């Protein structure tokens, strides 16, 4: 079974988001556990970083928070260096998160009248080919994304159009990458109208 890639959703009824809290709570606990394990690894490698304060003060802690702490402590100059050397996939302090199965998340979203869309499929090795995406009962794909090449954008756009899937896009801006600006990627009115038609 496929672990959950990053899936985002739209819910028709505002209060229905509470019915996803069990999944969100488990994911949040896993994030904190992973930050703790990565923090321990960093300390053993000689990096003095207060990962416990990150866990206590950040609601949804992630690797960039550890990275920024390392930069603040003077070990690195930018996040790219942190990820390239210690926190990137399979690097010395990296710890893999356990994620809920994709079909469980998608089914729950659909039960609540929501729309399930996979974010930036091009960055996942197991979803780089659409035959793997077809195993998921998705409503749409994030086609337009700064990590997608022009070839990938066209590839996913063709797949979405062929399979009558919603097309989304965004900058994926989290506030710490100066190479990406808010609103630098998105969708036009035609794609947006498809959402409203499905929700009505």
Tens of pLDDT, residue by residue over 140-149, are 998 988 888 8
Q: Are strands 7-10 and 115-118 parallel, antiparallel or unpaired?
A: antiparallel
DSSP 21-44: HHHHHHHHHHHHHHHHHHHHHHHH
Q: What are the C-alpha distances in Å from 182 to residues 9, 178, 188?
A: 20, 10, 15
At 52, which helix (H) or strand (E)? helix 51-57
Hey, what long-range contacts does 42-45 have (CB within 8 A, 24 or more apart)? 42/66, 42/70, 42/86, 42/93, 45/86, 45/92, 45/93
Domain residue extents for the chain: 23-87, 114-199
The answer, yes or no, to whether residue 18 has pLDDT greater than 70, is no
Partnered with residue 3 across adjacent β-strands are 101
**What integer best gives the mean pLDDT of the chain?**
83
- The model carries a pTM of 0.70
Q: What would the pLDDT profile of 1-14 be if each residue is shown by its tens digit?
A: 454 555 555 554 55
Q: pLDDT: is 91 or 9 the higher one?
A: 91
HSE of 182 in the Cβ direction (CA atoms, 13 Å)? 3
Q: pLDDT: is 129 or 102 the higher one?
A: 102
CATH class belonging to 114-199: alpha beta
């Amino acid at each position: 079974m496929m672990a959950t890639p990053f899936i985002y959703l739209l819910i028709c009824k505002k209060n229905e988001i509470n019915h996803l809290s069990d999944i969100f709570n488990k994911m949040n606990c896993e994030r904190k556990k992973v930050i703790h394990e990565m923090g321990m690894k960093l300390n053993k490698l000689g990096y003095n970083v207060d990962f416990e304060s990150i866990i206590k003060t950040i609601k949804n802690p992630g690797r960039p928070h550890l990275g920024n702490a390392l930069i603040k402590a003077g070990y690195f100059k930018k996040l790219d260096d942190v990820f390239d050397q210690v926190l990137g996939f399979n690097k010395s302090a990296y710890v893999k998160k356990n994620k809920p199965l994709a079909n469980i998340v998608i089914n729950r979203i659909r039960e609540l009248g929501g729309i399930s869309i996979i974010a930036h499929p091009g960055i996942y090795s197991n979803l780089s080919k659409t035959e793997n995406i077809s195993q998921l009962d998705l409503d749409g794909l994030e086609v337009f994304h700064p990590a997608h090449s022009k070839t990938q954008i066209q590839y996913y756009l063709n797949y979405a159009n062929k399979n009558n899937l919603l097309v989304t896009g965004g900058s994926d801006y989290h506030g710490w990458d100066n190479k990406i600006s808010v609103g630098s990627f998105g969708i036009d009115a035609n794609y947006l109208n498809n959402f409203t038609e499905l929700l009505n």
